[in-house]
A and B are shown apart, each in its own frame.
Chain A
Amino acid sequence: MVSAAPFGALFGALAVDNGFSVFDAVFMSATVYAGASQMVGLELFGHNVQPWLIILSIFAVNFRHILYSASIARHIRHFSGVQKFFVFFLLVDPQYAETEKRAERGEPVTFAWYLGFGLVIYLPWQLMTLLGAIFGQMIGDPKAIGLDVLLPIYFMGLVLGFRKRDNWLPVVAVSSLASIAAMHFVGSPWHVSIGAIAGIVLAAYLPLSKRHEEPVTLEHEV
């Protein structure tokens, strides 16, 4: 939760740097509420990538949440429909981890506890986005304070975070090379879709691994 705060501010500052208004930045944090995918969204939007690919990418980056919601289902069966809506809306990585830990300790997962813990993450995320966006507006030249280097490094960190997945290295290598080639021969923004599709098609055709229970991984961000 504490480690997520700098990323909220980073998102706000980079969003403004990518042409978002302060309102847009906070609006995205408040509605999407999933840090890594928000960064992906603003980068793709800055490149004028086609909307369907932006939305698919955000969906894909957040795909791990499917595992979380499947896994916490057994703890929240007794909640009402409206309560479940809030449960799923607030289901970020630390929230999932804490819910599982609490259930494991044998303590009841009540709606009051869940909502309380959720707001303690949700509200600071909005506040940090706002502060970062206001700060971002005051920056004249993002290069002079080294802001331009942060987004590619952040994405590199995300790529590394997936390195335990099947066929990670071939997918990364093929997508990287295809995107560079597409950038050169076709141009931006097509390098994103062409590079991504190359890696995805490769993954679909490579031999499937034997184990099929996907391990639920915990990432330390919102």
Chain B
Amino acid sequence: MDNSEHMQLIYVILAAAVATFLTRIGGYVMITQMKRIPPRMEAALNAVPAAVLSTLVAPAFLSGGWDVAVAMLVALVIGLRFSSLWMLLAGWLVVMAIRHVVI
């Protein structure tokens, strides 16, 4: 990362901190002013996390190599029942086993 990229990173982090703070104060401000978000906008905002995060998962499944794909599938099954810490542990064990034992 060169110098200008690094400055950009610092600015993005600061903007992200402000955005996060706005979410933390926003409910308080809204409840004291009693304004409502339009329902369709609320539905769209509700979908943002799953929509953005899916774009970080799906391409990695295809482009990460078969060992990563197998680890992600195992983690998905684990994740239907257990917390994300167990998903990480299971996926990590699978990928380490494939890389250091199988191959």
Contact = CB atoms under 8 A, between A and B. Distances in A.
Do A and B assemble together? yes
Interface of A: 3, 6, 10, 19-21, 24, 27-28, 31-34, 37, 40-41, 43-45, 51, 54-73, 84, 88-89, 91, 143-146, 148-162, 165-168, 171-172, 175-180, 183, 188, 191-192, 194-204, 206, 208, 212, 214, 220
A31 B24 CA distance: 13
B59 A183 contact: yes
A166 B49 contact: no
Contacts, number: 269
Contact of A61 (B17, B49, B54, B87): B49
Contacts of B63: 183
A154 B13 contact: no
Interface string B65-103: 001100110011001100111011001100110010000
A167 B28 contact: no
B28 A88 contact: yes
Given A59-B23, A160-B79, A203-B46, 7 more contacts: A28-B16, A37-B20, A43-B56, A60-B48, A70-B31, A150-B92, A200-B48
Chain B contact residues (Cβ within 8 angstroms of A): what range?
35 or more
Chain B interface, >50% SS class: helix
A88 B60 contact: no
B68 A149 contact: yes
A59 B20 contact: yes
Contact of B58 (A33, A88, A180): A180
A184 B79 CA distance: 28
Contacts of B25: 69, 84, 88
